[in-house]
Structure 1
Amino acid sequence: MPSRPATRYQRLAQDLTLGIEKGEWSTGERLPSLRELCLTHAVSMATAKRALETLLDLGLVQVRAQSGFFVAAKPAEEKAKAQGPDLQQLHHQRERMLSLMQLAEQPLPVSLQMAGPATELLPTEAMARLLTRLLKRSPELLAESAPVAGVLGLREALCERFAALDVAAKPGDLLITQGASEALSLALRVLTQPGDKVLVESPVYFGLHQTLASLGLLPVELPCSAEGGLSPEAVDQALQDWPDVRCLVVTPNFQNPTGALMPDAAKRRLLKVAAAHDLPIIEDDIFGDLHFGPQRPRPLKAWDQQDRVLYCASVSKTLGPSFQIGWCLSARHAKALTGLKLSASLGGGGLMQRALAEFIRDGQYDAQIARLRHALAESSDRYLQALHRYFGTRLDVVAPSGGMLLWLSLPRQLDSVALLKLALQQGLAFSPGTVFSSQGRHRHCLRINIGRPFDAQVDQALSGLADLLD
């Protein structure tokens, strides 16, 4: 009896398998999206999806949430992967986040590559007492689901804090999210469609580039100066050159990775430019509370009279990774944002949101911010003193006025990924500059996290790093 001819999805699965075997896609590389497969192979979305699921069943690919299908490692490659991250993946945009996370999992003496405070700077004991008290009083909170928009008490507490920054907000305008990354992703999804152009700073947080890629968006990079951040005039010129740009993503307060603080006058000019071009703005203010001076800088949203700014932030940098609680504030887009979150992650658990609301209302959050700000300011001074001592004129760095990051510019001929490879042998990790651009720029730069308090071990690591330049 003749064999039944292969179906369309089986033929597509065979073609993809052959491509993997020929090396068209290497281990860890992302396969074409469902949309791309539909276009290039003239198949339906259902056919493309079933073909990829076939490869998944065969162990040839693996799925990464909101990123797509990636070529799975062979057993020998998995063994090598367990021994440490492949630094060459830092050159590939879609692999950067995973590579840096793997690097963070390595038992290194001095890990300065991720942006976060050390455990000893977090209010772990105070939060443990608060959670114990909440659960003793209401054990049913362990089974509570938060509303999609977030626990009302938390939204009210946050709106009170916004008012102190001259940001007018109502609880109904505010959406609680799973950290700042989800807030930024939802804001982008509200404003754009796949294939759209988005203005971004350069350098900029590598996670933003990964989010843009996963949404099929095209970044248009504009220089971000460590002295003053993004130039409103550069935005104006870019909008004349690319009138089809859909939105701007910007971090005016202590930008990641440069630490730049945009002056208030520049913030106002940026809003005027945006109004002239009818450009929506997504503001990331995740480091805004961590100022070293006496007064917290106001966000761009404080001058927004047209509800043009979608304001995003999180408490993960002040309370630690267990509090992946963020938000997106926008009266104009509140309904659309909530609808997208409903399809993405629902509301999550209510316990941590209620704990955060109480932590804010009883003054413990302000006390934690004050302690953390003091520690980071001291840390910044000590790191900078050591860097100038060991690197001398080979280093260009601007002292930040807040945040927890230092952006180091080294001699132009330097390759920071190659430098990282050597530094790892000495037990030091940092983030190479190339991961902060979709175009591979800033290869002679690197970012270090000063959220780890300066000590003799850090001092020795920075001295050893300087020696590698000789």
Structure 2
Amino acid sequence: MATRIQMRSPLPMPHTPEAPIYQQLAAHYREAIEKNALRLGMRMPSVRELMRRHAVSLSTALQTLRVLEERGWLEARPRVGYFVRNAGTPALEEMSDPDLREPFQAGDGHAGARFTGINERISLLVESGRRADIRVDLGGATPGEELFDTRWMNRSAAALLREQPGILAVGRSTAGTHPEFQAAMAHRALKAGMRLAPQDVMATSGNTEAVHLALAAVAQPGDVVAVESPTYYGLLQGIESLGLKTLEIPCSQHTGISLEALDLAVRTEPRLRAVVVVPDLQMPLGTLMPDGHKAALVKFCAQHGLALVEDDSYRLLVEAAEPPRPIKAWDVSGHVIYCESLNKTLAPGLRQGWMTGGRWHERVQMLKFAQSRNTNTLGQLLAARWTAAPAFERHLLRLRPRLRSQRERMAQAIARYFPAGTRLRLPPGGLSLWIQLPDGVSSSSLFEQALRQGIRIAPGAMFSNTARYDGFLRLSCALAFTDGVDGALRTLGQLAGAGRA
């Protein structure tokens, strides 16, 4: 069914001395966007900055921004500012934020922390996808092989093995973090605004292990962990496997986790011990948490003695002149446990990550050694050398625009094929899109129908302990946009149109 969602198209804008000043300025910034000097997701200069930079009045600065927004080159985010968007992308209607005043409730009438059984439910969905004959997989969030310089990676790996031929035959007697890896990650942390000593760095097998170790260090079975809602289903599984309870906190598309709802949670949940967030390109919403909100969240958790676990898996994929600073950069009390995954940006097959446990670091190290002993040295040394090489920065400069192109082409296809009432906010980076289906369309039902057509998606029910996201789904933009992907989206749109109540 053809969608009734409208597409914005760029209109010609005067760029002559006779044109009003605000139109001249708008044309100037439109040209900067077209030439990629201002890239998708970057923050535009504020009203005050435009006034100062161009010596114009408040009215002229406001008119400049409004014209660019009307033409589809900018999007306004309440209380945050204006951000660059591509006028060639569909102006799909955005979903609205939920009520941000209090935690979500589970089906039994109690706080969301009372729900159990997410492991079994998600395992059944995952297993259904594995058993099906999949021809187009839109359910994952791992970049495709074609996005990585595998020749460079293979050459450098071979060189390391020649340099240290016995590296795979030698184990380590400590928790397994190599000094070269510690030094490299501490240096990267400094560039991101964090001050860490090399010994504060502990290698992990990706972020799943890191976040699980963090929660095991700060909470006991029966304790409560606050999470963003919706959130990554692997986190929900991990919390349940530790015998902990999940409390879902509503999440704004523009600022991230609700501090108002979190404040209520602190006052009503005496066993609340930790908060877990993905501040940059939150999964699955794609939210970019503003600096002011990050600082306020750190201060809040320190005041209430809560561990703040930061999952930094996607920050380097943000479309910006410089990557945003992680939450840990505002931490002065040690209440932030920082976990970084290199899976999405460096090498998915390496499964390399690292963490620093703040005031709980020694306990995290003890748990790591008790549960999994060493993290392989080869992976650590490869990660240390790859991230320090100029080739890694060049890789990121290529990766971000390629992912942007894939996101935009998918958004355009969704606008063409999905039924009227479909909503979508294009995130400023990342590997996936979070989509709200029209009223009456169930993503769980769509998941089953799509599997029979050889298409795998991630239904919204996977991202919550509640049933509130059955009308949403996550689609991966991590693979190249091919005719097969376009056809799969057409099929999904037809199934969604047929499934309306």
TM over 0.5: yes
Structure-1 residue corresponding to 2:148: 122
- Please give the secondary structure, in 1, of the residue aligned with 2:171: coil
- Given the superposition, is the C-alpha separation of residues 409 and 314 from structure 1 closer, same or farther in structure 2, using an over 3 Å criterion? same
Matched, 1:421 2:458: no
- Given the superposition, is the C-alpha separation of residues 106 and 218 from structure 1 closer, same or farther in structure 2, using an over 3 Å criterion? same
CA contact (8 A) 1:175 1:327 kept: yes
Matched, 1:340 2:367: yes
Give the Cα separation in 2 of the matches to 1:243 and 1:92: 23
- Please give the secondary structure, in 1, of the residue aligned with 2:402: helix
- Please give the secondary structure, in 1, of the residue aligned with 2:315: coil
Match of 2:222 among 192, 195, 199: 195
Compute the TM-score of the two structures, normalised by the length of structure 1. 0.77
Compute the displacement of 1:137 (Å): 2.1
- Given the superposition, is the C-alpha separation of residues 104 and 319 from structure 1 closer, same or farther in structure 2, using an over 3 Å criterion? farther
Structure-2 residue corresponding to 1:183: 210
Give the Cα separation in 2 of the matches to 1:106 and 1:250: 33
Match of 1:375 among 387, 390, 402: 402
Match of 1:214 among 231, 238, 241: 241
**Which amino acid letter does the alignment assign opposite residue 235 of structure 2?**
L
Compute the TM-score of the two structures, normalised by the length of structure 2. 0.73
Give the Cα separation in 1 of the matches to 2:136 and 2:187: 39
**Which amino acid letter does the alignment assign opposite residue 115 of structure 1?**
A
Give the Cα separation in 1 of the matches to 2:348 and 2:320: 25
CA contact (8 A) 1:93 1:435 kept: no
How many residues align structurally? 380
Matched, 1:258 2:285: yes
- Quote the RMSD (CA, aligned, Å): 1.8
Structure-1 residue corresponding to 2:167: 141
Structure-2 residue corresponding to 1:409: 436
Match of 1:359 among 381, 386, 408: 386
CA contact (8 A) 1:200 1:220 kept: yes
Compute the displacement of 1:172 (Å): 1.1
Structure-1 residue corresponding to 2:137: 111
**Which amino acid letter does the alignment assign opposite residue 270 of structure 1?**
L
Match of 1:288 among 306, 312, 315: 315
Give the Cα separation in 2 of the matches to 1:331 and 1:248: 14
Give the Cα separation in 2 of the matches to 1:99 and 1:346: 31
Structure 1 spans left out of the alignment, 5+ residues: 1-90
Compute the displacement of 1:102 (Å): 6.1
Identity in percent: 36
CA contact (8 A) 1:285 1:299 kept: yes
Compute the displacement of 1:395 (Å): 1.1
CA contact (8 A) 2:176 2:377 kept: no
Give the Cα separation in 1 of the matches to 2:428 and 2:381: 32
- Please give the secondary structure, in 1, of the residue aligned with 2:359: coil
Give the Cα separation in 2 of the matches to 1:166 and 1:320: 24
Compute the displacement of 1:364 (Å): 2.6
Q: Could you give the per-residue CA deviations for residues 66-96 of structure 1, whole angstroms, max 9, x where no partner exists?
A: xxxxxxxxxxxxxxxxxxxxxxxxx953341
Q: Which runs of 4+ in 1 moved over 6 A?
A: none
Give the Cα separation in 2 of the matches to 1:104 and 1:296: 35
**Which amino acid letter does the alignment assign opposite residue 432 of structure 1?**
P
Compute the displacement of 1:122 (Å): 2.2
Compute the displacement of 1:104 (Å): 5.1
CA contact (8 A) 2:421 2:439 kept: no
- Given the superposition, is the C-alpha separation of residues 406 and 208 from structure 1 closer, same or farther in structure 2, using an over 3 Å criterion? same
CA contact (8 A) 1:184 1:282 kept: yes
**Which amino acid letter does the alignment assign opposite residue 145 of structure 2?**
T
Answer with 442-451 or 273-282: which moved more.
273-282
Compute the displacement of 1:349 (Å): 2.1
Structure-2 residue corresponding to 1:460: 487
Match of 2:304 among 263, 270, 277: 277
Compute the displacement of 1:441 (Å): 2.7
Structure-2 residue corresponding to 1:34: none
**Which amino acid letter does the alignment assign opposite residue 141 of structure 1?**
I
**Which amino acid letter does the alignment assign opposite residue 165 of structure 2?**
P
Compute the displacement of 1:392 (Å): 5.4
Compute the displacement of 1:361 (Å): 2.0
Structure 2 spans left out of the alignment, 5+ residues: 1-116
